[in-house]
Chains A and B, each alone.
Chain A
Amino acid sequence: MWEYTDKVKETFLKPKNVGEIPNADAVGEVGSIICGDALKLFLKIDKETGKILDAKFQTFGCASAIASSSALTEMVKGKTLDEALEISNQDIADFLGGLPDQKMHCSVMGREALEAAVANFRGEPLPQKDEGKQVCKCFDVSEEKIRKVAVENHLTTVEEITNFTKAGGGCGECVPQIELILRDLWSLKPPEKPTTPKRLTNLHRIALIQEIIESEIRPGLQADNGDVELIDIEGNKVTLALRGMCTGCMMSDITLKGIQQKLREMVGGDIVVEAYQ
């Protein structure tokens, strides 16, 4: 069972603004019955001021689709078209106290219906389907939509893309393609981990070990009234002296092993830690 917020449940059970507006000034239609959800948005617009006087919807879909549609109509009423276009899918989700991750596509559908209605009113042609390359055949999702939703919602994984657009949630054939799109989209971001470790000079190596001992190791030991002192570094051999409560502690061997492990991870796999005699 989905973890819907009370607001989602309440809105689903008693949605506002259900129905159609006869002679509506704008109609936006998105989704399809095959994909499992569809939304038809009707707007009454004041031609002078561009304000949305009334909004109604008809929705085929699950509880969160109906709740998102109701939320959208409540949010746009009284706003000008430009103001209304500021509403993001996240705003719709927030209005409902949040949506389960896998249901975020319902809020995206709301946002799309609004865009479609405004385009309809302004007489702008809707972006042609073939303009953006179709990526997901199961749910008819274009590359353009994936890029747009990814940027707007800072999505970095295929799973997130599926939650927000459904793309990749059917046969899964397009998953590698979505991965490529995401890699391309976020490629400006610096890679998190350098792929090959740089060769350290002796000087760098010593400085790095000193720094790790100061910032990573000593605070932990000091918290237990212990301490450690760096005595010498010779090649890959690091000589340490345990101090304070660590002196003569039965666990001292384990403490040194732990430090060695840490240094191996952060400096090099060949580090050997020895106790100062």
Chain B
Amino acid sequence: MTTIYLDNNATTPVAPEVLDEMIPFLRDLYGNPSSMHTFGGQLHRKIEEAREKVAALLNAHPEEIIFTSCGTESDNTALMSAVESLPRKKHVITTRVEHPAVLNFCRHLARKGCRVTYVPVNNLGQLDTDFLFRAVDDDTAVASIMHANNETGVLFPIAHIAEKLKERGVLFHTDAVQTAGKLRLDMKSLPADMLSLSGHKLHAPKGIGVLYVRRGTRFSPYVIGGHQEKGRRAGTENVASIIGLGKACELAAQFLQKEASYLKVLCDRLEGALLQACPDARINGDIENRLPNTTNMSFEFIEGEAILLRLNEFGICASSGSACTSGSLEPSHVLRAMGIPYTAVHGSVRFSLSRYNTEQEIDRVIEVMPGIVRELREFSPFGREKLACPPE
């Protein structure tokens, strides 16, 4: 059975071109870039080339790129740096729908004595920006607002937010893990101070991330040790992965425009067909302002884990915001923050696509999904009256 991988917001396959580029650095060129000898020292140049490619994707200066181990480290570093370099300010702003890398770090800061404001969203997942701007005061050190939500794909107006916060003198960090490589990011026009991205979300391997820090931003390192990354992030460079990320960013920049429209067509096709074929299905999130590759749908009266395991029987990989799949007993904090009814939260399924998905794969999902929904509905004690009655 072939795998139909529609869980690209969780992780993506490494692009073959990326892997090819990495292999020599895993096999032969194993030196340490900090060494005095040519064997190791020559790698330094290679890392700088990769840094230039990452910077090009963001239209940033290479000096503003810090390599980290993952998106989570980038997020943690950004927040910690902001709080540490502004010791007199004790207020942090974020959203109720952030990734745990930001959300749980903010809770950690709250335990350390910071005041944290969590900005709410409406039932389309749109951010209450008025609430955000009202929350800013003289004590506010930093606001961390994600660019696109990983579960729903809903985009936040970070350009507008960054602009306003700049006027107020508040540091602004954005978690762009879901948008880097999918949407154009231009740090020359976007006045954000810090931005996180993660390699494995854009066809580079796991274990490599980036924190963009605008030149002139006060910065305090999180990982302390050697002089690597100009003293901003200690630890021997993950050379092969850095090279891989450089290549992945180059590919993303090349495909970006075409890919976005290709993915949107596939995604709309999937969504439209499932809405039509499955009664009591709905879309979660603002479809007007959304990543081109993500659709989050709810199938009422049935449970997400059951849907995923049935899809799994057909080799189809997706994810769900249901409680049973979250590892805890609480369903998705994102869908709950949006006020989606529990019945729909438990039956939510997220499909997230990449450039490697084909029309045939999408058609296969459209073919099997209605049967799965129908069968699980037959098991369910709910929604039966509704199914029996003609629609109003």
Contacts and interface: CB of A to CB of B under 8 A. Distances in A.
Indicate whether A and B interact: yes
Given A139-B329, A166-B329, A169-B330, A36 B380 contact: no
Given A139-B329, A166-B329, A60 B309 contact: no
Interface residues of A, number: 29
A86 B310 CA distance: 33
Contact of B303 (A19, A29, A61, A166): A61
Contact of A36 (B301, B309, B346): B346
A7 to B, nearest CB: 14
Interface stretch (A10-18, A87-95, A207-215): A10-18
Interface of A: 2, 9, 12-13, 15, 18-19, 29, 33-34, 36-40, 58-63, 65-66, 138-139, 162, 166, 169-170
B52 interface: no
Nearest to B300: A33
A109 B328 CA distance: 18
Contact of A33 (B304, B329, B343, B379): B343
A36 B306 contact: no
A12 B305 CA distance: 11
Given A12-B306, A166-B329, A169-B328, A29 B381 contact: yes
A33 B346 contact: yes
Given A36-B346, A169-B329, A62 B379 contact: no
Contacts of B379: 15, 18, 58-60, 66
Nearest to B331: A36
A195 B324 CA distance: 41
Given A33-B382, A66-B379, A60 B303 contact: yes
B380 A58 contact: yes
A173 to B, nearest CB: 13
Given A60-B302, A60-B379, A138-B330, 17 more contacts: A13-B313, A15-B379, A18-B379, A33-B301, A33-B346, A33-B382, A36-B324, A36-B329, A39-B381, A58-B379, A59-B379, A60-B380, A60-B382, A62-B324, A63-B305, A66-B379, A138-B329
Contacts of B324: 36, 61-62
A37 B305 CA distance: 11
Instruction: Identify which of A15, A38, A66 gathers the most chain B CB atoms within 10 Å of its CB.
Output: A66
A64 B341 CA distance: 23
Given A13-B313, A33-B346, A169-B330, A59 B381 contact: yes
Contacts of B313: 13
28 contacts: A2-B305, A29-B381, A33-B342, A34-B342, A34-B343, A36-B323, A36-B324, A58-B379, A58-B380, A59-B379, A59-B380, A60-B302, A60-B379, A60-B381, A60-B382, A61-B303, A61-B306, A62-B304, A62-B305, A62-B324, A66-B306, A66-B379, A138-B329, A166-B329, A169-B328, A169-B329, A169-B330, A170-B329
Contacts, number: 70
A167 to B, nearest CB: 9
Interface of B: 301-306, 309-310, 313, 322-324, 328-331, 342-343, 346, 378-382
A62 B342 contact: no
A29 B381 CA distance: 9
Contacts of B380: 58-60
Nearest to B312: A1
Contact of A37 (B301, B303, B330): B303
Given A33-B346, A36-B322, A62 B329 contact: no
A170 B305 CA distance: 18
Name the 3 nearest CB pairs between A and B, nearest first.
A169-B329, A62-B324, A58-B381
A169 B331 CA distance: 11
A166 B310 CA distance: 25
Contacts of B342: 33-34, 36
